[in-house]
Amino acid sequence: MRISGAGISVPQQVKILKGYKPKTTYALTWVQCTDGSYVAADRGATADIYETEVRVYGHLADINNLVDVLQENRTADSHVLTLNYFHEDESIFGADVDLSAGTTATVLDFGTIKQGSWGGYGVDMRLRALSPTLVGTASLPTLQYLSFGFEADSSVSVKKQDTYGGTFSYGDHEADAGTFSGEFTLTTANMRNLRCFLRTTRGASFQVASIAGVKYPWGPRRGAWPITCRCIEFSDQGMWGEHMWVARLKLAEVRS
């Protein structure tokens, strides 16, 4: 990745350590209703946030040059950087953020310089993309290649309050809504389409025909497929290898 911008005399080429995780926050605030379903207050796609935390590494001279470059940008009172010339595995803001022509970003946080090996140094950076170009097809990919440890069950939301005399009052949802939470391994194309699907679908409900390896999406006490749900949590776990990604999804049942 190359960094340039206002005040920067010589653009700086940097290397990004693998293991970064895009931090995408869709502008949705979820509220659970009395029937157990979730609904969202949506501030709109323009309020979505695309951030990342990366570690840049190299020789000490390279890292010192990077610090000087960022200081030049700050001195110019700009704080807007142009990032381009990304390597194939440097989709730092997520698979659906188009970096082919570069993107603008700003540094939100900058760590201290750390020595990682005899001659190698690194520094952590927290970046936010500014008005990124988004790509992808809004289609839910086949949910398969599920990691061990997923959760699939119906919530039991019994709330009891006792009085001074020992009697109880009950506050409970009208129904026990199902939730599913798990991690999926996806190709780059499928991850791009999944992210596009989620930012387009947003707080709306959708139907899932099946999840490979899951017989009861809401737990054995409930019926099987298909299910109508909303995605109330999405976490991009970053790249796994060269062309694969890991995504964590939490699906909540929509009660009819």
Q: What share of the chain is helix, strand, coil (3-state, %, to 5)?
A: 15, 45, 45
Tokens describing residue 13: 């080429």
How many C-alpha atoms does 4 have within 13 Å on its Cβ side?
9
- The answer as to whether 139 is a domain residue is no
- Write down the pLDDT at residue 124: 95
Which residues sit opposite 15 in a β-bridge? 57
What range defines the domain where residue 178 resides? 151-253
- The answer as to whether 102 is a domain residue is yes
Question: Tens-digit pLDDT profile for the chain (256 aa)?
Answer: 999 999 999 999 999 999 999 999 999 999 998 888 899 999 999 999 999 999 999 999 999 999 999 999 999 988 999 999 999 899 999 999 999 999 999 999 989 999 988 889 999 999 999 999 999 999 999 999 999 889 998 876 666 666 666 676 665 555 678 999 999 999 999 999 999 999 999 999 999 999 999 999 999 888 789 999 999 999 999 999 889 999 999 999 998 7
Q: Are residues 157 and 109 in the same domain?
A: no
Q: Are residues 13 and 114 in the same domain?
A: yes
Asked if 100 and 117 touch (Cβ cutoff 8 Å), the reply is no
- Write down the pLDDT at residue 192: 98
- Burial tier of 104 (Cβ tally within 10 Å: 0-12, 13-18, 19+): middle
Q: Is the peptide bond before 132 cis (omega within 30 degrees of 0)?
A: no
3-state secondary structure of 194: helix
Quote the CA–CA distance of 218 and 36 in Å, as a whole number: 13
Q: Are residues 230 and 156 in the same domain?
A: yes
- The answer as to whether 222 is a domain residue is yes
Tokens describing residue 135: 């790509």
Count of domains for the chain: 2
Which residues contact residue 107 at a Cβ distance below 8 angstroms, ignoring those fewer than 6 apart? Answer: 70, 79, 81, 125, 126, 127
Furthest CA-CA distance within the chain: 77
Which residues contact residue 75 at a Cβ distance below 8 angstroms, ignoring those fewer than 6 apart? Answer: 7
Quote the CA–CA distance of 255 and 34 in Å, as a whole number: 10
- The answer as to whether 28 is a domain residue is yes
- Write down the pLDDT at residue 254: 93
- Write down the pLDDT at residue 96: 97
Last residue of a domain, one of 97, 130, 163: 130
Q: Are residues 96 and 164 in the same domain?
A: no
- Write down the pLDDT at residue 174: 53
Last residue of a domain, one of 101, 130, 159: 130
What predicted TM-score, i.e. pTM, was given to this entire model? 0.89
- Alpha carbon separation from 225 to 138, 185, 250, 255 (Å, rounded): 22, 21, 17, 14
Q: What CATH number is attached to the domain comprising 26?
A: 2.40.30
Q: Are residues 30 and 109 in the same domain?
A: yes
- Write down the pLDDT at residue 153: 86
Q: Are residues 93 and 160 in the same domain?
A: no
Last residue of a domain, one of 96, 130, 164: 130
- Write down the pLDDT at residue 36: 83
